[in-house]
């Protein structure tokens, strides 16, 4: 693709080749993901992954805008979606619109994501009717950790119907896609079959219309805890630790800097 996909292009990927998405929070990471991803999410996971917060509840709109601006500068072909942080949209559709409009104006995002199902359907419809494409997020919704009572799998047993109803409600309200987080695979497959918009799974099912992971999880950069669904495709955290250890040893041994890292008085190229 030469130009970034629009929300309708993502919607049209329902049932086709799975949608590839990852989170990003910085320009260089966005540049790395851009050729390979259909969609890049500036997730509020940034609070835990980059800022050391204990949950996503402390993430501010200012943080999302700053990281959204950084990611925007690194993308040329993937679509960017920015998470609305806790407290910035739940109060009313009008509050959600004000927040989303500011995120879109200040970051260049073509869409926002918010957490919630039936309870957010009215807000999603309000935004969609006013030029704000919305990606929804149901199942485990980390901003509701204090009412969910933990990061457990959602929708097991009799609770399955409630998650299905949430996914249906956001689709009918006009969301262009829905993230399904930490739900049983069989329920994810059922939702994927029964709702008209693409499902993007995280801890869900290979049968979803797309997948998303937190990029620092899949690169092995974030190691404070490790959800079962966070497959590690690299161990960059371990590599970084080894590199820092080697640097520290070389500095203490005066082995770094070596001759090739320092400048002579007057040799040609001494300024380079
Ligand atoms: O904030 C985030 O990274 C997310 C994804 C895991 C879906 O919401
Ligand atoms: Na999020």
pLDDT tens digits along 128-138: 999 999 999 99
pLDDT at 1: 47
What is residue 270's predicted lDDT score, i.e. its pLDDT?
A: 52
What pLDDT does residue 269 have?
60
Does the domain made of 7-234 have the CATH classification 3.20.20.60? yes
- Per-residue confidence (pLDDT) for residue 272, from 0 to 100: 54
What is the pLDDT, as a whole number, of residue 105?
98
Atom of ligand 1 nearest to the CA of 142: 8
Query: What's the sign of the alpha-carbon dihedral 193, 148, 169, 83?
Result: negative
Pocket test for ligand 1, best of 26, 63, 83 (most atoms within 8 A of CB): 83
Q: Is the pLDDT of residue 271 over 80?
A: no
| Ligand 1 pocket member 83 (CB < 6 A) | yes
What gap in Å lies between CA 211 and CA 32, rounded to an integer?
Answer: 18
Q: What is the pTM of this model?
A: 0.96
- Write down the mean pLDDT value for the chain: 96
Q: Strand 210-213 relative to strand 111-115: parallel, antiparallel, unpaired?
A: unpaired
pLDDT attached to residue 40 = 98
DSSP per position, 69-125: HHHHTT-SSSEEEEEPPTTSSSS-HHHHHHHHHHHHHHH--SEEEEEBSGGGHHHHH
Distance (Å, whole) CA 75 – CA 193: 32
Confirm whether the ipTM is greater than 0.95.
yes
Neighbours of ion ligand 2 (CB under 5 A): 43-44, 83
Tell me: pLDDT of 184 over 60: yes
The ligand whose atoms approach the alpha carbon of 145 most closely is: 2
Decide if 106 is catalytic: no
Q: Where along the chain do its domains lie?
A: 7-234, 236-272
For residue 73, what are the contacts with CB-CB under 8 A and spacing of at least 6?
Answer: 27, 30
């Amino acid at each position: 693709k030469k130009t970034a996909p629009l929300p309708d292009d993502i919607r049209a990927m329902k049932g086709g080749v799975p949608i590839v998405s990852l989170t990003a929070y910085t320009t260089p990471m966005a540049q790395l993901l851009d050729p390979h991803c259909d969609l890049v999410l500036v997730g509020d996971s940034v609070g835990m992954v980059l800022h050391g917060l204990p949950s996503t509840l402390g993430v501010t709109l200012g943080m999302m805008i700053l990281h959204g601006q950084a990611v925007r500068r690194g993308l040329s072909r993937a679509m960017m979606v920015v998470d609305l942080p806790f407290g910035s949209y739940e109060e009313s559709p009008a509050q959600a619109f004000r927040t989303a409009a500011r995120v879109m104006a200040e970051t260049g995002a073509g869409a926002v994501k918010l957490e919630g199902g039936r309870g957010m359907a009215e807000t999603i419809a309000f935004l969609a009717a006013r030029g704000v494409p919305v990606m929804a997020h149901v199942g485990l919704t980390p901003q509701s950790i204090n009412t969910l009572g933990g990061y457990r799998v959602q929708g097991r047993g009799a609770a399955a119907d409630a998650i299905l109803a949430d996914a249906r409600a956001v689709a009918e309200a006009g969301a262009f896609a829905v993230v399904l987080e930490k739900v049983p695979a069989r329920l994810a497959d059922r939702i994927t079959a029964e709702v008209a918009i693409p499902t993007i799974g995280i801890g869900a099912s290979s049968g979803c219309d797309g997948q998303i992971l937190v990029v620092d999880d899949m690169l092995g950069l974030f190691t404070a805890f490790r959800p079962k669904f966070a497959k590690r495709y690299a161990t960059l955290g371990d590599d970084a630790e080894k590199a820092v250890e080697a640097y520290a040893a070389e500095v203490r041994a005066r082995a770094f800097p070596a001759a090739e890292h320092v400048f002579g008085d007057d040799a040609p190229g001494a300024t380079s």
